[in-house]
Amino acid sequence: MLSDSPTQTGGLIIGVNTHTGSDSTTNAKVAAVMKDRNLKSSRMDLYVGDQTTFRDQVQKVRATGGRVEAVMMTSWHWDTSCNPNLSAVEQDSYNQTATIVNQVKDLVQDFEMLNEVQLRSDIQSEVPWNSAGTSTTPYQGKPCVATITAVLRGMSRAIHDIGASSGLPLRAILGAVGKDFGFLRYMQQQGVQWDVTGYHIYPTNDYPSMLSDPWFGPGGPIAQLAKFNKPVHINEFNCGEIYDSGYENQAGMPKTETCLKALTRHMKDLRDQKIANIESIHLYELRDETNKSGPESHFGLMYDLNTPKVHLYLVSAFAGGSLTSAERNELTSRGLLTNAEIDAMQAAARAGGV
């Protein structure tokens, strides 16, 4: 049996996105940073094929007290042909998923089915993003929606069948982005079964609170997620300012400092809310991807694994992780958190919460 509990009983888990595994030395450094900062979960990309580096990263994270959830990328993640042979699509999706899950089920229990399905070009051609709201009607009778529904149904069946046959506590995650919660309801009506609802959100400092913003529907996004009566993973989270064309990615600069304020404000909301069963928040992401351009290059809490940003200190504080006196000062001098707040979060982490 997996040693991880399928639910977080002691408090909110703070984690990070780390993508794929790498060489053993790099994997060990990732695990060490996570342990030091009390980042208890890593969201990783899981592809078809050899799992050696993936398994090495997971093993190192688990050895230091963490856990991993996987975003499964089968061939259907890239296939936008809208294949009309739905029974064949579902079976192929089932088979691909079963192969991947069986390779790592001894180490990973939570499997996210594809990534940001609502933002796919084939789906947006039929249901433009943020146009459906809570309604299922826009998804009905759409060929590309039907294909991806078959893909997700095959994936969810495979995860649950393997969980049942192995006795392992495997869970399927289905994610949403934006305000089209009708997507989740439609998938539920079509027999796509999932155990944890994933959600991606990047709020700016001037956004209304996620606990009330009516743009997402009555009660705001967290209330909408709570309607599905499932645990929630905020599996991509960062400030919205990071998307600005002039984002400096440098402490002391205006937009970077506003980003820190946004993270503080919205993380406090997520930490303190009692609306939904939010098990975890995964910051996107641990370190910058300098091989990419635009916003994708600077989402990191660190510039590299040896060079943290103030963002890492802030997230570490919320996680109850270690902070030097100088790192604390970076937070308190900005008015982001007080020493009393940091002490309280560290005490909660020691007691088994956050």
Domain encompassing residue 122: 13-241+264-286
Q: Which pLDDT does position 8 carry in this prediction? A: 33
Q: What is the pLDDT of residue 353?
A: 56
Alpha-carbon gap, residue 62 to 260, rounded angstroms:
29
pTM of the model: 0.95
Q: Is the separation of the CB atoms in 235 and 175 below 8 Å? A: yes
Residue 350 domain-assigned (yes or no): no
In a domain? residue 65: yes
Which one is predicted more confidently, 352 or 308?
Answer: 308
pLDDT(53) > 50: yes
318 is a domain residue: no
Query: Residues 18, 223, 124, 188: what is their CA dihedral angle, to the nearest 10 degrees?
Result: 90
Q: Which of 51, 71, 82 is nearest to 113 (CA)?
A: 71
Asked if the structure places residue 257 within a domain, the reply is: no
The mean per-residue pLDDT over the stretch 326-346 comes to: 98
Q: Mind listing the pLDDT tens digit for each residue in 138-195?
A: 999 999 999 999 999 999 999 999 999 999 999 999 999 999 999 999 999 999 999 9
Length of the chain: 354
Round to whole Å and give the CA distance between 188 and 136.
10
Contact indicator for 183, 144 with CB cutoff of 8 Å: no
Q: Is residue 330 part of a domain?
A: no
Residue 11's pLDDT is 83
Cα–Cα distance, 349 to 158 (Å, whole number): 36
**Whole-angstrom Cα distance, residue 177 to residue 199?**
6
Rg (CA), the chain: 20
Tens of pLDDT, residues 237-280: 999 999 999 999 999 999 999 999 999 999 999 999 999 999 99
For residue 6, is pLDDT > 90? no
Structural domain contains residue 222: yes
Please count the structural domains in the chain. 1
Q: Which amino acid is it at 14?
A: I
Tokens of 117: 């399905």
Q: Is 60 within a domain?
A: yes
Count CB atoms within 10 A of the CB of residue 62.
18
Predicted confidence band of residue 3 (pLDDT cuts 50, 70, 90): very low
The Cα 269–Cα 281 span in angstroms is: 12
Mean pLDDT of the region 198-210: 98
CA distances from residue 56 to 21, 59, 61 in whole angstroms, order as listed: 7, 5, 9
Write the CATH number for 171.
3.20.20.80
- Average pLDDT value for residue range 197-208: 98
Q: Assess if residue 33 is contained within a domain.
A: yes
